Amino acid sequence: MIARAFALRNAIDAITARATRDMLQGLQPGPEGSLQKLFAIRARQMLSEFAIDLQGTDGLRYDPQSEPRRNWQASWLDAPTGRIAGGSDEMLLNTIAEKILGLPQDHRPDKGVPFDEIPI
């Protein structure tokens, strides 16, 4: 689990470094942000769960006054909100599939139709 977390952290750092380099060269941000967000939130959730497991029965205690960097319970409880904010996992996976893997877009009959003209 520690090795997996280390590998995920390195992947996130590499994606962030590449995106930063591209932006410094004047290029438009690409789909790297989708990868970074997807991996970062999953890594956070995985690490929080692992830290709680390592605490044994003490991991069941929730202390809202504890230091945020050590509050694994709050991190674990808050992780699902990160998987929704700024695009759900499914939206990020679609972006990765289309823009990185080159897969065709999902069929969307409402594509190109203004929101107020979509039949209810």
Q: Rounded to the nearest 5°, which phi and psi values hold at 75?
A: -60, -45
What's domain 2-104's architecture?
Answer: Up-down Bundle (1.20)
C-alpha–C-alpha distance, residues 41 and 34, integer Å: 11
- pLDDT tens for 74-107 read 888 888 888 787 678 888 888 888 888 899 988 8
pLDDT at 26: 93
pLDDT at 88: 83
Domains of the chain, residue spans: 2-104
pLDDT at 13: 92
pLDDT at 116: 87
- The CB density around residue 88, as the number of other CB atoms within 10 Å, is 11
Nearest to 55, CA basis, from 32, 38, 76: 76
Instruction: Calculate what percentage of the chain has a pLDDT beyond 90.
Output: 16
C-alpha–C-alpha distance, residues 92 and 90, integer Å: 5
In terms of phi and psi (left: phi > 0; alpha: psi -120 to 50; beta: otherwise), the region of 93 is alpha
pLDDT at 70: 79
Stronger pLDDT, 8 or 68, i.e. the higher one: 8
Instruction: Give the list of residues 6+ apart from residue 38 with CB closer than 8 angstroms, or none.
Output: 89, 92, 93, 96
